[in-house]
């Protein structure tokens, strides 16, 4: 099963195309831009509390049969936070001092 490669930052709605090196994801594929992860979220996923990692880039070239961005298209469904900015800030402040591997 391939990653969804969601098209936007859930916080600021910045476009994050499939080849965006500034995209970050948590283990649930919540997707945010590196700027929001570092300056607003303190490396805390506002949905699950986990940390973030760079989102992999899906190859555009079909190096193996059926495996590429054309054959396994990224998601076009934009996702947005369901929490208020104030709630996100409080959640991130509560969790940010716990290392991601201990959350």
List, for residues 10-56, the tens digit of each pLDDT value.
999 999 999 999 999 999 999 999 999 999 999 999 999 999 999 99
Query: Does some domain include residue 18?
Result: no
pTM, 2 dp = 0.92
CB 37 within 8 A of CB 74: no
Query: Does some domain include residue 5?
Result: no
Query: Does some domain include residue 8?
Result: no
The total number of residues written for the chain in this structure: 103
Round to whole Å and give the CA distance between 16 and 86.
Answer: 24
Query: Does some domain include residue 13?
Result: no
């Amino acid at each position: 099963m391939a990653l969804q490669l969601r098209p936007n930052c859930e916080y600021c709605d910045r476009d994050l195309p499939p080849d965006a090196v500034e995209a970050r994801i948590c283990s649930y594929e919540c997707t945010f831009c590196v700027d929001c992860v570092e300056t607003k979220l303190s490396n805390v996923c506002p949905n699950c509390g986990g940390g973030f990692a760079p989102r992999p880039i899906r190859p555009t070239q079909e190096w193996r049969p059926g495996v590429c961005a054309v054959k396994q298209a990224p998601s076009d469904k934009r996702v947005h936070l369901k929490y208020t900015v104030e709630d996100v800030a409080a959640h991130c402040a509560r969790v940010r001092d716990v290392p991601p591997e201990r959350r």
